[in-house]
Amino acid sequence: MTERNSFFTTLENEALICGRCGCCRSSCPVYKIIGWESAAPRGKISLAKEAFAKGDKSALSDEFVKRVAQCTLCGACASECATCIDTRSLWLELRKRIAGLGKQPAAYDAIRETLLANKNISNFENDERLEWAEDLDEPEVVEPRAGAEVGYFVGCVSSFFPQAAQIPLDMVEILTEAEVDFTTMGADEWCCGFPLISTGFQAEADQFIKHNVEKIKEMDIHTLITGCASCYHVWKHDYQEELGDYQLEILHNTEYLARLVKEGRLELNELEEVVAYHDPCDLGRNSGIYEAPREIIAAIPGVKMVELYHNRADSLCCGGGGNLQSVDAELAEQIAQLRVEEVNASGATILVSACQQCEQMLSTAVRKAELPVRVMDISQLVLEAL
Amino acid sequence: MRTEILEKIKEKYGSRATDSSFECGLYSRDLGPVPGLLVNPLFNTTPDLVVRPSHAEEVAEILRTAYGSGIPVTPRAGASTVYFDSVPIKGGIVMDVNLLRGIVELDEEGMTVKVRSATTWSELEGYLNRKGLACKSYPSSAPAATVGGWLCMMGYGLGSLKYGSMLSQIKSIEVVLPAGEIRTLTSETEPSLDWFAGSEGTLGVVTEVEIEVRRLTAMEHFMLLLADESELLNVMQAFMNASVTPYNLHFADQHCLRAMDKLGFGLEGVDSGCTLGIDYEGTKEELEQARKTVEAITSENEKVTRLEDEVAELEWDGRFKALKLKRGGPGVLGAEVWLPVKELAGYLAEVQTMGPKYHVDLFSYGHVVTPEYITVMTTFYADETRTIPYIINLSLVKKIQDVGYRHGGCPYGVGLWNTPYLNRIYESARLAELRKRKQQLDPKGLMNPGKVYRPPFLMQPLTYGLGMDVMAGVQKLVGRGGSR
Ligand SMILES: Cc1cc2nc3c(=O)[nH]c(=O)nc-3n(C[C@H](O)[C@H](O)[C@H](O)COP(=O)(O)OP(=O)(O)OC[C@H]3O[C@@H](n4cnc5c(N)ncnc54)[C@H](O)[C@@H]3O)c2cc1C
Ligand code: SF4
Ligand code: SF4
């Protein structure tokens, strides 16, 4: 399956193109929970049309701004759109316009300030980027080093949040086992910029993009892997202009691990588990990567793989995208609950994903629902099978 | 009194009811791109209250209360209609039925499924496909349209040619009548379930539908390129008369193809002519026979070329995206005509002479939905940001319907905007029967008032026709349609 084409022109034009048919309505996880027309993609686009294409600034109410922020940027609406509007780009542009007018939610300002101050989304200083590696037997293996075959872009969540720190630890172990010549960017890794792009602060995000590209070039890295679906999407799309003709192969961890498995560099042993895979929106629907993770799971002997009711391009969001948690944590949780109902129905004993945000959302929801299901990153599953 | 009652409902339904102007404004429109300048002086399309009941008893309670207090109620499901079918014109309550969704039960032996009415066709098809079953037919708005919504409209779409109208597939429905009585109706009850087909929310609220399903079978898709529209009808009829009936038979005229091409949606290897798409489903033997039919028809006719199978498959995959033509506007106006198939060639020829006269490019596409009828959509670009020229452009919608009428056609669906054509849509005896039913079930005229049965005062056929003709005259003299 390939990535969806984008025909995006301008906010004004796309808002006028929308035919209000509602084909985007039923697949929207936010609409599923809220249920009001103003929460449906077409409702928001109608208001955007009034505000921007027709110049009725009264349409730019606080209620509207709230609805624009209540969106996970999952892209389900873009897949369904009957007029091929790249609604995900439309939401980003809308958030940019709203920020341009200074009408963004207060939570977005906090995100911006943190990022500008720390270069990452946590409250820690960026110098502490490699703190997680202290749990390794040989932490020095991750010290930045120019000219390595592979650069591992760890991402803010995995670097700073204890719940996600297991992911880089597992990845390092796997890469070491496969004898990959890899490195990280250490404190020179800044946030990929997605939290700024998705809150409407594109100009600020551009500084982050510029910085990261400069460092990658300095380190002479030509293959970059990342375990975060959003970092991956941003590197693949928003970094291209800055990268210019610099040769950089950008891979998600799942693509790289699938390659290692295929090349016989990882030998997977038997696991007696029923595994379901949750497609992260930014990796699946928004980047077109569906098969690599499935190939990895299928390569583990003994594993019975089951599909969730909504899968691949139809996958249901975990609720954690688009900075939704920062403005409406309860809504994000309710969306995760919808997904967990599908996990329960699937009979899986392990739920695997390939995005630390999905894992965090789904673990919490699985715990709340008291399901006997382990939620893990694909790297953890691979490590268990090694 | 009215305010108090509305307040009471609002209080009772809490977060499932709203009278906020922010929200209610969004329920004041459907797809119909009619400017406020035209609508607002005539109709009150903003509901006083929107309420979202979650089961039949709640629907009944709301209807009972509204009925007792003389408050109009307009049911709204996917709101994927264009004639203000689900838009109130006298304010009151909009009943958003979208919480009535989900599968009630599947009877695999009896090959029927019972669903709550606001389940979308895509949801139902997705559910059935996972069980090795499928819907017999569905509208080409399946991701948006609900089962109940299609029943209450005309119920013809993809699959109708092979499996008949939606009505013919229904076993029973659960409805709440205007005064709040919950009933299960079949073809044997009084009233019969068929009263609700095409009732457009004017007789009550449908809460459940029991409908036939089919086995999920393999499909084959074919796409033919014809030099021009002159041959279209013959080829179409050859497919309709063949031993295997297509699941779906649809065409796009050359203007439509050209417009799609300009937008980057062109078909590989096609730069002129019109297309006929033929989709089959069935057993291996049926599909084999279908392939032979396609081969025979194409080899007999040198004006017909068969396009690559991938082109046909892509077309099928994009079956819910006909609206993408709108990207060239971005405004689009048009008319959907229920047309005798045998009149298709004449209709298309006349439509094409009309375009240049009124300074617009007209694009037509359509689906054969019964052995006798085809629904044809004829559209043109119009810039909705230029209000006055746009309003003048609107008159061409009537001109297209007039062409359809001259060829034995009529509008597909009524709602508000097609009420001036009632005498074209229904024979007088049929219309009288429909009015009698309305009188019997809703004597106070509170369910979705202003739709289906009578045109509003200013839209009487004579005045409406005259007004539209004058505007069309202006369009002819000075008008321009087109994209921005
Ligand atoms: C791209 C596109 C393609 C389309 N293709 C087709 C097609 O192939 N065939 C076709 O017939 N139409 C088609 N339509 C028109 C429309 O989508 C269908 O008629 C659809 O079935 C309407 O369903 P809905 O749920 O959107 O109903 P709505 O638009 O919400 O309502 C339609 C009418 O039914 C009433 N109603 C809705 N639900 C209930 C209920 N539960 N009880 C009582 N009354 C109710 C409403 O009051 C209204 O009068 C198309 C539209 C678009 C935009
Ligand atoms: S991106 Fe996802 S959450 Fe946002 S409007 Fe679209 S479907 Fe809804
Ligand atoms: S599917 Fe596309 S055109 Fe239809 S309402 Fe949604 S955004 Fe608008």
> Are residues A96 and A199 located together in one domain of the fold?
no
Q: Is residue A338 part of a domain?
A: yes
Give me the pLDDT at residue B268, please: 78
| Residue A12: closest C-alpha in chain B | B330
* Helix or strand run (H / E) with residue A327: helix A324-327
Query: How far lies B133's CA from each of B127, B226, B369, in Å?
Result: 8, 35, 22
Q: Is A330 on the interface with B (CB under 8 A)?
A: no
Rounded to whole angstroms, how far apart are CA atoms B216 and B47? Answer: 42
Answer yes or no: do B326 and A83 touch at CB < 8 A. Answer: yes
- Beta carbons of B442 and B202 less than 8 angstroms apart: yes
Range of the domain at B17: 2-96
Residues B111 and B183 in one domain: yes
A36: contact with B, CB 8 A cutoff: yes
The alpha carbon of residue B130 is apart from the nearest alpha carbon of chain A, in Å, by 9
> Is the CB of B156 within 6 Å of ligand 1?
yes
The CATH number of the domain holding residue A183 is 3.40.50.1860
Tokens of A147: 């000219």
User: Are A253 and A271 found together in one domain?
Assistant: no
Residues in B closer than 8 angstroms to A35, CB to CB, are 16, 52, 96, 98-99
Give distance in angstroms: CA of A37 to centre of ligand 3.
13
Q: What is the pLDDT of residue B220?
A: 98
Say yes or no: CB of residue B365 within 6 Å of ligand 1. Answer: no
pLDDT given for residue A5 in this prediction:
82
Distance of CA B347 to the CA centre of its chain: 20
Using DSSP's 3-state secondary structure scheme, residue B290 falls into helix
Confidence band, pLDDT 50/70/90 cuts, at residue B484: low
> Looking at residue A2, what is its pLDDT?
65
Cα A137 from Cα B322, distance rounded (Å)? 59
Closest residue to B385, CB basis, from A17, A53, A63:
A53
Q: Are residues B184 and B107 in the same domain?
A: yes
**Predicted confidence band at B33 (pLDDT cuts at 50, 70, 90)?**
confident
Final residue of a domain: which of A70, A104, A138?
A104
Q: pLDDT (tens digit, 9 = 90+) per residue, B286-298?
A: 999 999 999 999 9
Q: Which residues of A touch B99 (CB under 8 A)?
A: 35
Does ligand 1 have an atom closer than 6 angstroms to the CB of B95? no
Query: What is the value of ipTM here, to two decimals?
Result: 0.96
Helix (H, G, I), strand (E, B) or coil at B380: strand
Domain boundary among B153, B186, B215: B215
Q: What are phi and psi of B481, to 5 degrees?
A: -100, -145
Query: Which of helix, strand or coil describes residue B450?
Result: coil
Q: Are residues A164 and A277 in the same domain?
A: no
Q: Are residues A131 and A39 in the same domain?
A: no
Question: Would you call A43 an interface residue with chain B, using a CB distance cutoff of 8 Å?
Answer: yes
Residue A138 lies in a domain: yes
Looking at the DSSP bridge assignments, the partners of residue B377 are: B336, B365
Which of B215, B250, B269 corresponds to the end of one domain?
Answer: B215
* Residue B74 contacts residue B47 (beta carbons within 8 Å): yes
Last residue of some domain: B78, B96, B114? Answer: B96
Residue B481: predicted pLDDT = 60
Distance, in Å, from the CA atom of B204 to the CA atom of B176, rounded to the nearest integer, reads 6
Task: Please tell me the distance between residue B366's alpha carbon and the centre of ligand 1 in angstroms.
Answer: 17
Considering the domain boundaries, does residue A304 fall inside one? yes
Radius of gyration of chain A, Cα coordinates, nearest whole angstrom:
20
For B56-110, what is each residue's pLDDT tens digit?
A: 999 999 999 999 999 999 999 999 999 999 999 999 999 999 999 999 999 999 9
A20-48 CB burial, b ≥16 within 10 A, e <16: bbbbbbbbbbbbbbbbbbbbbbbbbbbbb
Residue A3 lies in a domain: no
Q: How many domains does chain B have?
A: 4
B123 contacts in chain A (CB < 8 Å): 26
**Percentage of residues in chain B with pLDDT exceeding 90?**
91
> What's the pLDDT at A3?
73
d(CA B435, CA A207): 68
Residue A98, domain member (yes or no): yes
Checking if the pLDDT of B228 tops 90, the result is: no
CATH of the domain at B295: 3.30.70.3450
**In a shared domain, residues B328 and B468:** yes
In a mutational test of the pocket of ligand 1, which residue from B50, B84, B86, B169 has the highest number of ligand atoms less than 8 Å from its CB? B86
Q: Count CA atoms closer than 13 A to A74's CA, side-chain side.
A: 30
Spans of chain A, pLDDT less than 50: 1
Task: Kindly state whether residues A195 and A289 are assigned to the same domain.
Answer: no
Distance CA B364, CA B380 (A): 9
Q: What is the spatial distance between Cα A201 and Cα A41, in angstroms, rounded to a whole number?
A: 22
Q: Looking at the structure, tell me whether residues B332 and B453 fall in a common domain.
A: yes
Distance CA B481, CA B396 (A): 10
Q: Choose one of A104, A137, A172: the last residue of a domain.
A: A104
A142 and A254, same domain (yes or no) = yes
Q: Are B411 and B419 a contacting pair, CB within 8 Å?
A: no
- Ligand 2 atom having least distance to the Cα of A41: 5
* B483 domain-assigned: no
My answer on whether B340 and B474 are in the same domain is: yes
Buried b (16+ CB within 10 A) or exposed e, B179-198: bbebeebeeeeebebbbbbb
Is there a contact between A17 and B322 if contact means CB atoms under 8 Å apart? no
Adjacent-strand bridge partners of A49:
none
Cα gap A255→A295, rounded to integer Å: 9
Q: Do B18 and B153 have their domain in common?
A: no
Q: What is the largest CA-CA distance in chain A?
A: 62
What ranges make up the beta strands (E) of B309-395?
332-340, 363-368, 373-381
Residues with CB under 6 A from ligand 2: A 27-30, 41, 71-77, 87-88, 91
In a domain, B146, yes or no: yes
Compare CB distances from A20 to B30, B52, B99 and report the shortest one's residue.
Answer: B30
d(CA B102, CA A30): 18
Do residues A63 and A192 both lie within one domain? no
B452 within some domain? yes
Q: Work out the widest C-alpha separation in chain B, in whole angstroms.
A: 73
Is B248's pLDDT higher than 70?
Answer: yes
Output A112-116 pairs: Cβ under 8 A, ≥24 positions apart. Answer: A112/A196, A112/A199, A112/A201, A112/A204, A115/A191, A115/A195, A115/A196, A115/A204, A115/A208, A116/A204
Q: What is the extent of the structural domain holding A129? A: 109-259
Under 8 Å between Cβ of B134 and B214: yes
Q: What pLDDT, on a 0 to 100 scale, did the predictor assign at position B270?
A: 82
pLDDT of residue B482: 61
In a domain, A205, yes or no: yes
Residue A84 backbone class (left: φ over 0; alpha: ψ -120 to 50; beta: rest): left
List pLDDT tens digits, range B172-204.
999 999 999 999 999 999 999 999 999 999 999
Q: Are residues A346 and A369 in the same domain?
A: yes
> Are residues A122 and A219 located together in one domain of the fold?
yes
Find out whether A90 and A53 touch, Cβ atoms under 8 Å: no
> Which among B209, B182, B149, B191 has a CA at the least distance from the CA of B58?
B182
Residue B483 has pLDDT above 80, yes or no: no
Instruction: Work out whether the CA dihedral A292, A296, A302, A307 comes out positive or negative.
Output: negative
Rounded CA-CA distance B234/B217 in Å is 29
Contact call for A17 and B330, based on CB within 8 A: yes
Residue-wise pLDDT for B327-350, tens only, equals: 999 999 999 999 999 999 999 999
Distance CA B83, CA B88 (A): 11
Three-state secondary-structure class, residue B423: helix
- Span B365-413, pLDDT tens digits: 999 999 999 999 999 999 988 889 999 999 999 999 999 999 999 999 9
Instruction: Say whether pTM exceeds 0.95.
Output: yes
Q: Are residues B330 and B453 in the same domain?
A: yes
Is there a contact between B22 and A64 if contact means CB atoms under 8 Å apart?
Answer: yes
A231 and A113 belong to one structural domain: yes
Give the domain CATH number at A313.
3.40.50
Asked if residue B435 and residue B329 are part of one domain, the reply reads yes
**Degrees to nearest 5, angle at CA B233 with B231 and B236:** 105
| Total domains present in chain A | 3
CATH code of B206's domain: 3.30.465.10
- Mean pLDDT computed over B199-218: 98
A-B C-beta contacts closer than 8 Å: 92
- Please tell me whether residues A38 and A114 are part of one structural domain: no
Per the CB < 8 A criterion, the answer to whether A198 and A108 are in contact is no
Q: A25–B78: do the CB atoms touch at under 8 Å?
A: yes
Task: Answer yes or no: do A358 and A255 share one domain.
Answer: no
CB neighbour list of residue B110: distance below 8 Å, 6 or more residues apart: none
Do the beta carbons of residue B15 and residue B52 sit within 8 Å? Answer: no
Axis crossing angle, helix B387-406 with helix B461-478, rounded to the nearest 10: 110
A278 residue type, one letter:
H
A249 — phi, psi (to 5°)?
A: -85, 125
Average of per-residue pLDDT across B24-43: 94
CA distance B208 to B117: 5
Q: Is A98 helix (H, G, I), strand (E, B) or coil?
A: helix
Looking at the fold, whether B268 and B349 belong to one and the same domain comes out as no
N residues, chain A: 386
Predicted local distance difference test score (pLDDT) of residue B267: 85
Is B442 close to ligand 1, i.e. is its CB under 6 Å away?
A: no
Phi first, then psi: give them for residue B319, nearest 5 degrees.
Answer: -65, -20
Establish if B484 belongs to a structural domain.
Answer: no
